[in-house]
Structure 1
Amino acid sequence: MKDLKGPRPEKEKKVEGGVQQVDEDKLRRILGGDAKELNSYANELAKSYLNARKESEKLTTSQIRNVLDELQRMREFDEAALHLIRPKLAYAAGRHGGRVKDFQKLLDTTIKITNRENFKNFKNFVEAIVAYHRYYGGK
């Protein structure tokens, strides 16, 4: 018989109140140009966004894609336009809940630390999340 009192492996990293915690150190390395970290964290996040109890709580590829489209419309860094994405994300998180809240929290944190020098890395990070999300079956 299994020991039920022993330590259990975590299914999600750093979860508090149902919302996945954001690793700001990883985000800073990604925005600084660490391609391996970008790849690894985007992969990890994409998997977690598909892991929800109800179908309605999953993050859809089109929800992520909407953010990427807004970022791609910005040919160069525009701080005002970037910060205007935050209320749109908050609205979507309030409306849908679930993994959308996780995505909103991630991007909200990332937007706060994005600047002219690392904006391209931010766009690449969101693009990688879209790609991995789709790869793992995101709809």
Structure 2
Amino acid sequence: MDKGGGKTQDTIKQIAQLKNLADLDIEEITKENGIAESFVRELSGQLKPTQLRKFFDTIVRNQEQIREKGWVAARAEFHMIRPSLAYAKGRKLIPNEFFDLVDTCMKKIPAGTEDQTIKNYDRFVDLMKAIVAYAKYYGKG
């Protein structure tokens, strides 16, 4: 791990301990000084809107594929998100903490049932949506 702040690393550890990503409380994600806002504030200036948007668009497209065709059909596209993130991290386009957060979340998405997998993915989208929103909010100067 990198020189990220304590709260960011605590959040990543908290997510890593969950059985299912869907167990991450939506209120904890979205509330004032919650997971998303704290994450963005701690990485102030490091989260580039263009990169965030690129990953968020891919994540939402994948969510639509899952809804239309099911998890099995969308699984390959889901697993391609990580190499794209690794490339962006390698080029220093995203901070290490963002990579770690997304990577940790992605490990919590596949579950025993397709229904649980979809619930986990939906919570992943909620978290990313909140991060994109707060990054836009704090990015304005």
Provide the TM-score with structure 2 as the length reference. 0.71
Name the counterpart of 1:63: 51
Structure 2 SS opposite 1:111: helix
Take 1:100 and 1:138, find their aligned partners in 2: how far apart are those partners? 19
Bigger radius of gyration, 1 or 2? 1
Q: Residues 14, 120 of structure 1: CA spacing in aligned structure 2 closer, same or farther, 3 A cutoff?
A: closer
Question: Aligned partners of 2:47, 2:127: CA distance in 1, in Å?
Answer: 16
**Is 1:24 aligned to residue 13 of structure 2?**
yes
Match of 1:37 in 2: 28
Distance 2:26 2:136 in 1: 20
Tell whether the 8 Å contact from 1:94 to 1:101 is kept in structure 2 after alignment: no
Change (3 A) 1:30 1:132: farther
Cα 1:12–1:24 change in 2 (3 A) is: closer
Structure 2 vs 1, CA of residues 30 and 102 (structure 1 numbering), >3 Å: closer, same or farther?
same
- TM-score normalised by the chain length of structure 1: 0.72
Give me the CA root mean square deviation.
2.6
Please give the secondary structure, in 1, of the residue aligned with 2:51. helix
Q: Identify the match of residue 135 of structure 1 among 107, 117, 137.
A: 137
Moved over 3 A (4+): 26-30
CA distance in 2, matches of 1:83, 1:122: 14
Change (3 A) 1:93 1:21: farther
Alpha-carbon distance in 2 for matches of 1:14, 1:100: 15
Distance 1:121 1:47, change over 3 A: same
Measured against aligned partners, the alpha-carbon deviations of 1:34-70 in whole angstroms (never above 9, x if no partner) come to: 111112101111112215xxxxxx2201111111100
Deviation at 1:85, TM superposition (A): 0.5
Alpha-carbon shift at residue 24 of structure 1 (Å): 3.4
2:61 alignment partner AA: R
Residue 91 of structure 1, aligned match among 83, 87, 90: 87
How many percent identity over aligned positions? Answer: 31
CA distance in 2 between partners of 1:14 and 1:72 (Å): 26
Could you report, residue by residue, the CA deviation over 1:57-106 in whole angstroms, capped at 9, with x for unpaired residues? x2201111111100111212433211110011011111116x52211111
Confirm or deny: 8 A CA contact 2:15 2:24 kept in the other structure. no
